[in-house]
Structure 1
Amino acid sequence: MSKIEHKKAILNHQALNGALVLSGAALISKILSAVYRVPFQNLVGNVGFYIYQQVYPIYGILMTLALTGLPVFISKIMAEQPNQISRKRLYWQLLILLSLISGIALIVVQLLAPWLSFKMGDPNLSKMIRAVSLLLILMPFLSTSRGFFQGSLKMHPTAISQVLEQIFRVIMIILVAMAAHFHHWNLYRMGKDTMLAAFFAGILASIVLLYYFKSESFSFEYYPEISYPTLFKRLLNEGGILCVLASLVVLMQLVDSFTIKKNLLIYGMTNFDAQNAKGIYDRAQPLVQLGLVIGTGFATGFIPSLVKNYRKKFFDTFKNNARMMVQVSMTLTFAIAMGIISLIHPINILLFKNAADDDSIGVYCLSIVFATMIVIHNSVLQSLNRSANTWISITIGMIVKIILVSWFVRRVGIMGGSLSTVIALFTIWVINYLCASDFIKQSLYPKLFFLKIILISIGEGIGLFLLQREISKLFLMPSRFGSLILMLMMVPIGIIIFIGLCFIFKIFKAQDQLKQMLKMFRSKITK
């Protein structure tokens, strides 16, 4: 092996190991971010959960900027630089540019917090909005530093800072919730302190990243590698798309924060009932987040392989791998979504003590399917540098959400929030599909696959629902223990039903799929 080939092999090995490290850290962080909300809701109740979830989407968007969207974009342009000196110069440019943008955004949010809280229908939220906006102080350093390390194929700083940040934040939130529960704090004080937890967790992440900078011999060098207008344009176009895609579901939640409670008042609810209903509605968020983690987790592992095949013009291999990615990811997604929807009654009781608003939570969980399809579709387009239609589809989808949520909620109550989200996500996916090239359609959407998987999911849902109804008659009183027993019985049955129907409908050519997967993973290991 020549020196050049040996160097390429080392870089490929570093890239693969780095991708695995980042994927593992992201998985841990997302699971933590979803799971903590169950004990949190149990401690603070529906109204406390409503207060927290009203402002949470702002935190979610800021975290996307600091953790995924901007670091991925920055790592991309860092990787384009010829050497480490150029990367360090570009680092300072990006840090200056993002600091300017974040500083302006921080001032605007601090000044407009009372107006924003008024528009959310709850003036008491202004202190929470100001508290969470403090994360803007840390965002430039966090996103630029993570992007710098990732662009240099050093993934451990990002991974370790991410996991420690989330662990620290979750611990602080649960401690605040416990203090509020046992000492009967005002719920808005509780909400403000939970939002401050994000800022302190960000400080911890910054300290971790600074520790890793010790070995970089960093000094300030102001020699612009790219003109600021060009850098800003790329930041807006390329970075913006990545951030919007990564926070799509959170953006839907942000629309809910500004619309649902106010429209529930118009629907005829009292202020307390509207807060309570919104808090119950938000129970769907951890379920959707866990579904997305599982549904998209498998797909992200395929993206580097797809990029490589496409660049080398191995189009048949690209299509086969893309088809397998979609089939496996969407099979998992449909199975999980239909399982949650079918068992939403015992899940609601088990996690949140009662079965309030089963229907609206179940309908909201349909968004797992469409959000996963959107993420997979646009991840492939991003890897091929074909994202021109992404802004169009997301803009139209958000407009649909904004229009429908008010119209629906005023007529059917809290169910309107769920319906508007599902329809908006479905709209985005349909536009993505219609705008896709024939090559993408052939690669990502195998003939009859979606029809088969929908029929299988319906079969799973009907089977689980009927069995659940009969078995639940054995329990005289709905309780957490009874729901736990029911779940332990129904989950294995649901898996058996789904797998059995997959074989009946021949959803996979098992032998061929297994060979392809083994071949792909073998090639990753040997390179």
Structure 2
Amino acid sequence: MGKQPRGGTGSTYVEGALVLGLAAMVSKLIGTLQKIPLQNIAGDGVFGIYNAVYPFYILFVFLATAGFPVAISKFVAERMAVGDEAGARRILRLSVVMLAIAGLCGFLLLYGGAEHVAGWMGNMQTVEAIRSCSYALLVVPVMSAVRGYFQGKANMVPTAVSQVAEQFVRVATMLVLLWLLTSRGASEGMVAAGATFGSAAGGIAGLLVMLYYYRKERRGRGALVSDLVVQDTKGPPSLSIRSQSSSQMAWQLVRYAVLVCLGAIAVPMLSIVDTFTVPNILASMSRTELEAMTEFGIYNRGLPLVQLVGMIVSSISVTIIPAITQAQHTGSFSQVREQIAVMLRWFWLIACAGTLGLVLLAEPINIALYQDAAGTATMMWVSCMTLGSTMNIVTGAMLQGLGKVNAPAYHLFVAIAVKIALNLWLVPSLGMNGAAIAGVAAYSCAAILNMVVLYRTLQLRLSWKEFVIHPGLLMAVMAAAVGIILFGLPWLFNVLGIPSGRTSALLVTLIGVMIGVTTLMFSAMKFGVIRAEELRSIPKFAKYIPKLQQIGWLKK
């Protein structure tokens, strides 16, 4: 029997979730900062083109990988649960070949069909940007396969480092090209193309990081990266999957991965709905192409904030699937059901707090990031997407881990239908606010449907006290604390003679976030919403629990 996986304990997955959550926060903060110079230097027109094209690229990435990282992590976790190291590596080799072919096909389709896609969008200025980002499809799918392999082994460090490296190189490339193209007076379409090309550079960086970690792992076993394409003859025959043909394994991976993909593309698909409907609706309202993209750019100011929370939650959620898979194989499913209830409660608090914080701080965030308060009301509505988006991601991952991969996919189609219908109804009368309200309704619909299936599958016991009363109390305390900062700091700045502007707005935002997070954390511990036994599962945190109980901040 091979060595047991390092992901065999719940604490390992919690540690992995924390690692990925931190990496996602860092990488998304880098990505958010990227959009500030893009909008500040190039203007809302280029910003609109970029935000119209980028979700389409993300959609193609999802289609090219077809949910393979999640599928790979699940099947690798199954192999590691029975000590079949050779089987796990065979899954990786097959996945790399399949995803490399899928990525090449995606590149050819997106590059060759750029003009057709731009025509469907109703804006030919997006052609070069579409072609520019298509190059990333040559490397990103392979990188995703290797990430899934390490996630299935509960080793989240390679993925975390790869995420940060990918984002850092992507942003650095974008900023260099942005400076070069704008200084030479390039067209708005070409400037946007330079911005989107950063995706390819970032993908290369991320892939190199993953190959470094794979080589490091293989060196420990006396092999090199070339093992990716060389048949493995190691591993216990009684436990391995060598009895299956490559075609059988490929079919199992594709079948599971496609269903996962359909449930995972909610964010890019709903953004694609906006891309294909909002500019066309605005054009029918006598807007020029540039005016339509400018309005669309203002609408997209709030989306990076929603995606920041979603990225963190999504990165953490990838640990849920292999954790549930291994628990099912080791016969501890009842314990996982209890853990799922705890995770739901924690993520519900995170989603509520994130939504409330973004709504309250929408105006100072808007000014701090984008120089003015244009579209603040829309940003507040967009911020409300955080709640539904977060819970959709979490409940979808839980259903996938339980084998209910069809349900999130079906619910996605319902959400898309809701989004299209409400866009067509609300945008002509409410403008960008209508598009944001449609997004709130679509995300909420998908999350509620996922929750219903999850509740029925696990027979969960969810109390009003834990999911309504306690969160409501915590949100009231948090709102009061942030409200004091929101209104008190500008008054103090005025008394001190500090002029209003981006600097003061940034200070209000940063202090408001810190006060909000601190207030929420200590209130949750004080009122017993977060319990001592739950905090003990967080690596290296247990030693602080007695001290917190001694000073009365944590109930015993």
Normalised to the residue count of structure 1, the TM-score between the two structures is 0.83
Other-structure match for 1:54: 52
Deviation at 1:373, TM superposition (A): 1.0
Q: 1:447 aligns with which of 454, 461, 464?
A: 464
Cα distance in 2 between the residues matched to 1:423 and 1:297: 24
Instruction: Return the offset for 1:357.
Output: 0.8
Instruction: Show the 5 A alignment for 1:88-167.
Output: 89-151=90-152, 157-167=158-168
- For structure 1, which segment, 182-191 or 168-177, has the greater mean C-alpha deviation from structure 2 after superposition? 182-191
SS of the counterpart of 1:273? helix
Q: Out of 225, 234, 240, which is 2:258 matched to?
A: 240
Q: Deviations over 1:327-365 (max 9, x none)?
A: 222222212211110121111111110000111111111
Q: What is the letter of the counterpart of residue 43 of structure 2? A: G
Give the AA of the match of 2:433.
Answer: M
Q: Which residue of 2 aligns with 1:29?
A: 27
How far the C-alpha of 1:391 sits from its partner, in A, is 1.5
Matched, 1:382 2:404: no
2 CA distance for matches of 1:198 and 1:349?
A: 27
Moved more, 99-108 or 61-70: 61-70
2:388 paired residue among 364, 370, 389: 370
Aligned counterpart, 1:45: 43
Q: Counterpart in 1 of 2:347?
A: 329
CA distance in 2, matches of 1:446, 1:242: 30
1:295 and 1:332 in contact (8 A); partners too: no
Pick closer, same or farther for the CA change 1:310–1:31 going to 2, 3 Å. Answer: farther
* C-alpha deviation, 1:460, in angstroms: 4.9
SS at match of 1:442: coil
Write the distance in 1 (CA, Å) between the matches of 2:423 and 2:141.
34
CA contact (8 A) 2:260 2:409 kept: no
CA separation in 2, counterparts of 1:521 and 1:201? 31
CA contact (8 A) 1:294 1:332 kept: no
Counterpart of 2:166, as a letter, is E
After superposition, the C-alpha distances for 1:410-464 in whole angstroms (9 at most, x for unaligned) are 2211112101111111111122233334463625x43343332246536755775
Equivalent position of 2:412 in the other structure: 394
Deviates more, 1:295-304 or 1:475-484: 295-304
Determine what percentage of the aligned residue pairs are the same residue.
25
User: Unpaired runs of 5+ in structure 2?
Assistant: 216-222, 234-241, 544-556
Which residue identity is paired with 1:43?
Answer: I
The answer as to whether partners of 1:334 and 1:369 remain within 8 angstroms in 2 is yes
Please give the root-mean-square deviation of Cα atoms over the aligned residues, in Å. 3.9
8 Å CA contact 1:92, 1:222 repeated in 2: no
User: 1:230: how far off?
Assistant: 4.2
- Give 1:48's aligned amino acid: V
**Residue 253 (str. 1) matches residue 262 (str. 2):** no
2:516, 2:72 → 1: CA distance? 43
Alignment match, 1:482: 504
Preserved contact between residue 181 and residue 194 of structure 2 (Cα < 8 Å): no
| Residue number in structure 2 paired with 1:8 | 4
Matched AA of 1:450: F
Does the 8 A contact of 2:21 with 2:316 survive in 1? Answer: no
Structure 1 residues 503 and 150: CA distance shift in structure 2, 3 A: closer
Q: CA deviation at 1:40?
A: 2.6
Change (3 A) 1:162 1:474: closer
Deviation at 1:62? 4.6
Is this contact kept in 2: 1:66–1:142, CA < 8 A? Answer: no
One-letter code of the match for 2:400?
Q
Q: Which runs of 5+ in 1 are unaligned?
A: none
Structure-2-length-normalised TM-score: 0.79
In the alignment, is residue 417 of structure 1 matched against residue 418 of structure 2? no
Tell me the alpha carbon deviations over residues 280-317 of structure 1, each in whole angstroms, 9 at most, x when there is no partner: 11111221122234556666666666666666665664
- The 8 Å contact of residues 65 and 139 in structure 1, kept in 2 or not, is answered as no
Which residue of 2 is the match for residue 185 of structure 1?
186
Q: Which residue of 2 aligns with 1:272?
A: 290
Per the alignment, residue 431 of structure 1 pairs with: 449
> Do 1:299 and 1:325's aligned partners in 2 also have CA atoms closer than 8 Å?
no
Q: For the structure 1 residues 397 and 469, does the alpha-carbon distance in structure 2 shift closer, same or farther, using more than 3 Å as the test?
A: same
Q: Distance in 2 between matches of 1:441 and 1:459?
A: 32
Deviation, 1:186, is 1.7
Q: CA deviation at 1:398?
A: 1.2
| 1:175-254 correspondence runs (5 A) | 175-211=176-212, 212-213=214-215, 215-218=224-227, 219-221=229-231, 226-227=244-245, 230-231=248-249, 233-254=251-272
Rate the CA distance shift 1:149–1:315 in 2: closer, same or farther, 3 A.
closer
